[in-house]
Amino acid sequence: MTENNTKFQQIATSTLVPERKVGVKLYLRTGPERFVLFINESSVLTNAKIDQLHQNNVGQLYLDASDRQGYLAYIKENLSAILNNSDLTANDRAAIIYDTASDITENLFAQPSTESIDQTRNLVDCMIDSISQSPETSNLMMMITNQDYYTYTHSINVGIYAVSMTKKILPNISETDLKTLGLGFFLHDLGKAKISNSIINKKGPLDQNEWQIMQEHPAIGADLACELGTSTPEIIDIISTHHERHDGSGYPHKLEKEKISLPGKICAFCDVFDALTTKRSYKKSLSTFAALKIIKDETPSHFDPELLNPFIMLFGTN
């Protein structure tokens, strides 16, 4: 069957889990503009069907672009099984994690709920499992970070950078502890979900009143995380301290030096770096080099000098 007037999008067959239902129609491409139905939305993708793709060396299937949300829901629900597939290329694995993270965190900031926090936790767990199995995933994800600033893309980018930096500084950290810190990094700006969009998206500097409201986001985020059932001290600590600065000039508590926890300091580096290297309607993005130069210049006033080199080293291969 050939479908006309349909915009098709490619998906990797390595994202298909045997004996599960994808829930959207999938097509085979048989010519430049020819697509034939492979499986419909109500059918389970059997092992035999997947073998058929392997035997014919089919690495890509296609879906109607309007079914993309349905496909993303399938990915979210089966994320762990999909990422465990050894046929998945490192690039596809990194892209699946990033796309799923975008979908989940966009929902989280639009409507924070216990369910969206649980989805974020599952995502962070799957991401850290993937990094443990294939360390290159971490570098690849750092390379595909979105350069357009939104609160949710910023949260993902900071999460990815901060997990990598934590692994560099604490190479023997347990996976369980890294998962806890990882969720804290992803949720560091959760409080912004409760701040008016007119302040969050303001095209230009904030006035004094707006700035005061903005400075409340660490406390609002910590309260919200507890309200939604995430009161783990390490997570609350990251949300509460990511704007503290080494010389005590940060907010909300003007903590300094060793009074700021290691994860709070790590989050501060990654937060500022991502803010500098992403673009907003009123400012261009800086290059990695220019951003690292600013962070270096702001050390030791804003950042812990002992962490500067491990942070810079993160970008050594990019």
Contact positions toward Fe ion, by CB under 5 A?
Answer: 189
Distance (Å, rounded) from C-alpha 232 to C-alpha 133? Answer: 26
32 contact partners, CB below 8 Å, separation of at least 6: none
- Least Cβ distance, residue 183 to Fe ion (angstroms): 16
User: Residue 189 or 244: which CB sits closer to Fe ion?
Assistant: 189
Number of Cβ within a 10 Å radius of residue 123? 25
Q: What residue number has its CB nearest to Fe ion?
A: 189
- Least Cβ distance, residue 247 to Fe ion (angstroms): 18
Q: What are the phi and psi torsion angles at 29 (to 5°)?
A: -95, 125
User: Residue 82 or 266: which CB sits closer to Fe ion?
Assistant: 266
Distance (Å, rounded) from C-alpha 308 to C-alpha 282? Answer: 28
- Least Cβ distance, residue 271 to Fe ion (angstroms): 6
- Least Cβ distance, residue 219 to Fe ion (angstroms): 11
User: How far, in Å, are 23, 157, 168, 278, 285 from residue 275 at the CA level?
Assistant: 38, 10, 22, 6, 8
Distance (Å, rounded) from C-alpha 145 to C-alpha 274? Answer: 9
- Least Cβ distance, residue 299 to Fe ion (angstroms): 19
- Least Cβ distance, residue 191 to Fe ion (angstroms): 8
Q: Which of 210, 234, 239, 205 is nearest to 222 (CA)?
A: 239
User: Residue 76 or 202: which CB sits closer to Fe ion?
Assistant: 202
User: Residue 79 or 272: which CB sits closer to Fe ion?
Assistant: 272
- Least Cβ distance, residue 306 to Fe ion (angstroms): 23
Residue position matching structure tokens 């986001």: 217
Task: Round the CA-based radius of gyration of the chain to a whole number and report it.
Answer: 21
User: Residue 93 or 154: which CB sits closer to Fe ion?
Assistant: 154
Give the start-end residues of each E strand in the chain: 8-12, 20-21, 26-31, 34-39, 44-45, 60-64
User: Residue 96 or 191: which CB sits closer to Fe ion?
Assistant: 191
User: Residue 22 or 276: which CB sits closer to Fe ion?
Assistant: 276
